[in-house]
Amino acid sequence: MRTSLEKSDFNREGVSPDKVRHYYRVLFLGVTREADAYLDEFIDFDIQRLQELTGKVISAILLDIDACIAPAYDDILKKNLDKIDQLRADGIGIGICSNCKAMERLNPLIERGIPIYSGKRSKPSADVFLDACTEFGFEPSTTWMVGENPTTDGGAVSVLGGMAFVKPIPAGGKDLGLKKKIMLPVQMALRRIAIWRTVIGNSDIIRSEKS
């Protein structure tokens, strides 16, 4: 189980045939409409409430990084680190399952001993979520994926015990390279469409209590 940055870490970002196929399934087959929750932010992930409303057990979480607990390519927000600490204190396993390459901004997680998925495969492949559970010692049937992007994180729907999407965190003030500056608006537009398809008219999806 990896708990430190490694030079051999893999970058799983970018377009892949699997992502294109899954995006089609999101838009035209509505596969992510079976997700359990769509929350305003990660700190709204209330274990007791979600277990009561879904009848499911939550023993562990696979957690995304960019726009989920941190602005894209930026530092993890303190309130989300505090939420991670609280969940772990309550006995919930936490592991990172992200397509982004591990960088120094993930050090607060590494310092906490939180494992980071180290495989070469990229989301939304079902194998990623199952491999991550195996790597972290989590039981898939009681593990939830928490992320902001139906196109990638949505691959966990019907693979793991549960799926919670959160509203994407707006991009921060970090100075990005030219390629990322060009690609980020495109990625955000595609993600907004996928989120719309996931939640529009979906009365079964659980929302934040304050919504």
DSSP state of 50: H
Whole-number pLDDT of residue 14: 66
Percent of the chain predicted with pLDDT > 90 = 75
Contacts of 163 (CB under 8 A, 6+ apart): 32, 34, 35, 36, 37, 144, 145, 153, 154, 156, 157
Whole-number pLDDT of residue 211: 73
Whole-number pLDDT of residue 6: 47
DSSP state of 169: P
Residue 7 scores a pLDDT above 50: no
Residue 52 scores a pLDDT above 80: yes
Q: What is the dihedral of CA 29, 206, 194, 84, to 10 degrees?
A: -130
On average, the pLDDT of the chain sits at: 90
> What are the φ/ψ torsions at residue 112 (nearest 5 degrees)?
-85, -5
Give the pLDDT confidence of 64-100 residue by residue, as tens digits: 999 999 998 899 999 999 999 999 999 999 999 998 8
Q: Is 35 exposed, middle or buried (0-12, 13-18, 19+ CB in 10 A)?
A: buried
Residue 11 scores a pLDDT above 70: no
Domains in the chain and their CATH numbers?
17-205 (3.40.50.1000)
Percent of the chain predicted with pLDDT > 70 = 89
Give the model's confidence band at 150: pLDDT under 50 very low, under 70 low, under 90 confident, else very high: very high
Mean of the pLDDT values across residues 183-190?
A: 85
Closest CA to 133 of 192, 184, 61: 61
